Amino acid sequence: MRTRLTLLSIVVVGTIITLLRVPVAHLDTIWAEDGDLFLKQYLDGSAWPFRGYAGYQHLIPRIVTGILATIVPLEWYGIAVFVACAILTGAVGAAVFWLSRDLVPWMPARLGLAGITFLLPLSAVEVIGNLADFHTYCLWLMPWLLLYRPRTPASGIGWGVVAFVCAMTEIQSLVFLPLLVFMLPRQHRFAWPIGVGYLLGIAGQVITTLLLPRPSNASWLGFPSLLLGYLYNTVLPMVSPNTNWQVTVLLESGALVPALALLPFVVASIVVLVWGTRMQRTLVVTLVLASGAIYAAGALIDGNDYFLYAHHTNANGFEGMLSVRYGVASGFFLAATVPLAAAVLVRLGASRGVRWPSIIAWVAVVGLLVQFGVASTQASSARTTGVSWSENVEEARDACANYPPETVVGIETAPVRVLLLDCGELVP
């Protein structure tokens, strides 16, 4: 009963925090593919849940779109999407808390992992509150799923379904394929449904990519630009995601500030490598490598010149892009090294009968969450476009009063998109 209350509390707190991280006016905004793709295809009757787009599967967005579009009036759809995504974010935090219990046995550290899910500063810029970017949270959840060891067959099957749904939502989950080797020992027999669900989801993504390849501008950026981009877009936003502040700092001191901000995570990783168990060392290596790989994959596939940080002169101001969404999942994995190290320190202190490791652990976890909370207040939501979904729907309905049902009208969504609907589809 206590565990259930804890999990429910995490979901509720995570939902509330997510809702509070953007101005109230921004909740009523349809973002990116949520409108002109997922909602449009559902209203047109072509929203098969396993329909690919841009080379990928987007299972969770399509399922949630179908549910909300069925039960919620069209003018409320924008707010409904944000609320649904907030609840799902809270659920991901609770899932990470539960799945990490073997590798991160100290409860405050596990609460820290849940807190990272809700408070990572960069996520408030674009990722939270929309289905188009929810795949980021699926990616964050995946290593915890693959390293979890269920106690019962039912638990394994349940988490296997979650693994399938998440893998069918985020193709980059493929980077965690090597973790399947840890399911091979006989004592982990209840974990195989998770592996099966994951493999089925990845297979679906690969088949979609082969049948519907995504046009790409991918290009090699070079290691110096990737390293600088990682410091600028993954590490620096943990100090502050405010791009005006970031530009000032980078122009005045180069990569010094983000390099210094990286040090606590380097120290945390070393702590785990030195004093952690074998599986904790495996986990920290996974987190660090995933953090770098996820950012690099996003930047390389994007391939635009503004990621060539090592080649910019910055003679007339900073030339690259900052606080890009590729740093969100990357930031989750890097930040997780601190709670993991805290759990290692607590165990070390208990085994040696000394208190100072536990004190350091508390300071590390609380300090990280406080820093994230403060930095989050400096985030500027990309939803500051003045696009109100409910108002735009009402305006379109007013316009349709003078036109036949087959007339097509455009409803503005963010950022700079238009959802085209027939007047007949706008009838309340």
Least confident interval from 52-66, 123-137, 372-386, 407-421: 372-386
Residue 347 pLDDT more than 90? yes
The whole-angstrom separation of Cα 88 and Cα 343 is: 26
Instruction: Tell me the mean pLDDT in the region 286-304.
Output: 95
- Residue pair 41/47 in contact (Cβ under 8 Å)? The answer is yes
Residues 55-85: tens digit of each pLDDT: 999 999 999 999 999 999 999 999 999 999 9
CA dihedral 128, 130, 136, 139 (to 10 degrees): 120
pLDDT band (50, 70, 90) for residue 92 = very high
Residue 421 pLDDT more than 70? yes
The whole-angstrom separation of Cα 58 and Cα 49 is: 8
Residue 24: its pLDDT value, please? 86
pTM of the model: 0.95
- Residue pair 298/127 in contact (Cβ under 8 Å)? The answer is no
Helix/strand/coil for 421:
strand
* CB-based burial label for 278 (10 Å; 0-12, 13-18, 19+): exposed
Helix (H) / strand (E) containing 422: strand 417-422
The whole-angstrom separation of Cα 42 and Cα 30 is: 15
Residue 385: its pLDDT value, please? 65
Q: How far is CA 272 from the centre of its chain?
A: 24
- Residue pair 374/119 in contact (Cβ under 8 Å)? The answer is no
Residue 379 pLDDT more than 80? yes
Domain assignments of the chain as residue spans, ordered by start: 389-426
In sign, the C-alpha dihedral spanning 22, 25, 28, 34 is negative
How far is CA 241 from each of CA 250, 266, 321, rounded to the nearest angstrom? 13, 21, 12
Residue 72 DSSP label: S
pLDDT band (50, 70, 90) for residue 386 = low
Instruction: Tell me the mean pLDDT in the region 249-268.
Output: 96
Helix/strand/coil for 31:
strand
Residue 154 pLDDT more than 70? yes
Residues 388-407: tens digit of each pLDDT: 899 999 999 998 988 888 89
How far is CA 73 from each of CA 67, 393, 394, 423, rounded to the nearest angstrom? 12, 11, 12, 15
- Helix segments in 191-325, DSSP class H: 192-211, 223-230, 236-239, 243-253, 256-275, 278-302
Computed over every residue of the chain, the mean pLDDT equals 94
Residue 428: its pLDDT value, please? 63
